Structure 1
């Protein structure tokens, strides 16, 4: 049995269990993948979106990852970053990057170690991981992550598309077809098919960006997707239809377009509210459902928007639609400077605890559940 100390953070409705391995290494590579289920599971675990692991960027750590995971043809340079950002999905697979997760890590480094800025290696599973800068302060937008400059999606994550002539970073998919059952769209259209165009950009994760008001063959569906929840009763058919629509589009793309997106694809549906303010709903490939917010998706939306619109705003505020059902002030601020595109928000620590990870216990076994000790520490 291993006792695994952790801390739980949230940013814009995204919740993360963070295991800090910067001073003491307790989890093997196999443990990280195994613990991901318990970290994310609400019935037999802690409950969160992803497990995050922070490690020192040292030759020893990189060598251990290379031996167990086989990610890299050449070992990355350990001198290029202070830390490693590792993110694991519920099934134990390692993901690439996460804006809100990085914001939470920045908050944790400040709160636990007094570190206000650091370099961190992300996109660890790719052949060439990326170094970015993160930091935190105490003001309302004190957490920040500079993700650098968006770029064209790597070939191992996306095929096909049609490069936009004026951009080396965005691919245009101009003829995406989403099929529905007969009658699914009867309130807005007699057709069982939705045609749309989408723009693909890589911001640490591959993201399709779609503006339904202009990119849908049935633009009326945009009003269902972006109906404000406070305007409708909880069980209102219009709100539930909009949520179902987002889920159907995301799942259809991930199931029927595997030839184009062999590793899955994140789908962002966005609507401009005013100059420099855009609303967004994001379907995440790793969890196969809509998430309350997405930092790399927010950046993708802002980046595509800037390519097609002249904006007078120095910042772009992305309003995470689902998160704002619960927190109407939630937003992710995007800022462009010479060093790249930065995200800022306000991560919040929820609690810390210790998990009893039983050796060689099968994933999902209820014996791996947590309990609360008398002093309030989760064990």
Structure 2
């Protein structure tokens, strides 16, 4: 079977995009996606994204397999790449805005030009049952609560952007042994569906530095939903403005948790790297 693909990245968070519009299910398995994501024996990526026909009032449907074969509900950098992929497929008459159905609901990205995409990420979910986490009662919020990881007590705030996030504020993100403790956060029993984990250094209330351990992908250069969750957590704990730049290892995202409608807006780049075909799966 020969499959055409296009490689995109958002701040170094890279994806293999497949035009899957002729079928309602991904045309490759999660095991095959793992092979394609292998950086030594495959194409190399943090995940494989499929552009499927629209459903539930969406123009298109986005499905994702992480590099470990798991399927997340949403991906912030991924949906920017998805929007640019669709615009490239549609050509010169491409729409500037799309309604994309995801497992986290309908997300609306807008092509801004100059390689930037702005995404209406919707409202954050804050109740423990929504995340989900056992760090608070089901109908309560987990804000600045203690969590024991690697023999240390961390103060964490939990936010869902359609997928679970555990955010902790630290003095120096560069000093965090991410590869060692990231998996311990991800698989902590307090998170029954595992969790993404963001370590945040507040440079200024309007400027945050972030490193991330992504559920199902490990260390990545950027995480769009994580950057959104970080600003929400910053506002909830009084550490961040509602509008802030989030600096990740791969570059910066502009995040706003709007006061008026309580929705989170993310703006950042989506860049095509190359196109190709793979014939052995």
Settle same-fold status: TM greater than 0.5. yes
Match of 2:136 in 1: 162
Change (3 A) 1:30 1:352: closer
* Higher strand fraction (1 or 2): 2
> CA–CA distance in 1 between the matches of 2:76 and 2:82?
10
- Number of equivalenced pairs: 276
Unaligned stretches of 5+ residues in structure 1: 58-77, 124-128, 180-192, 213-221, 227-241, 324-329, 359-379
**Secondary structure of the equivalent of 1:160?**
coil
Q: CA offsets, 1:318-361, max 9 Å, x none?
A: 000x32xxxxxx20111234372111111110001111144xxx
Unaligned stretches of 5+ residues in structure 2: none
> CA–CA distance in 2 between the matches of 1:90 and 1:79?
27
- After the TM superposition, which residues 39-188 of structure 1 pair with which residues of structure 2 at under 5 Å, given as runs? 39-57=36-54, 78-113=55-90, 114-123=94-103, 129-139=104-114, 142-152=116-126, 155=129, 158-162=132-136, 170-172=141-143, 174-179=145-150
- Whether contact under 8 Å (1:17, 1:51) holds in the other structure is yes
> CA–CA distance in 2 between the matches of 1:93 and 1:41?
14
Q: CA offsets, 1:140-159, max 9 Å, x none?
A: 5x211111110036748633
> CA–CA distance in 1 between the matches of 2:140 and 2:3?
41
Q: Calculate the TM-score normalised by the size of structure 1.
A: 0.67
- Whether contact under 8 Å (2:232, 2:257) holds in the other structure is no
Match of 1:61 in 2: none
Q: CA deviation at 1:39?
A: 2.2
Match of 1:206 in 2: 164
Give the RMSD, CA atoms, in angstroms. Answer: 2.5
> CA–CA distance in 2 between the matches of 1:284 and 1:273?
23
- Whether contact under 8 Å (1:150, 1:203) holds in the other structure is yes
**Secondary structure of the equivalent of 1:296?**
helix
> CA–CA distance in 2 between the matches of 1:310 and 1:118?
33
- Whether contact under 8 Å (2:108, 2:120) holds in the other structure is yes
Q: CA deviation at 1:28?
A: 5.3
Q: CA deviation at 1:304?
A: 1.1
**Secondary structure of the equivalent of 1:91?**
coil
- Whether contact under 8 Å (1:106, 1:144) holds in the other structure is no
- Whether contact under 8 Å (2:235, 2:242) holds in the other structure is no
Change (3 A) 1:83 1:203: same
Q: CA deviation at 1:174?
A: 2.4
> CA–CA distance in 1 between the matches of 2:39 and 2:239?
44
Q: CA deviation at 1:198?
A: 0.5
Change (3 A) 1:14 1:155: same
1:303 to 232, 236, 244: 232
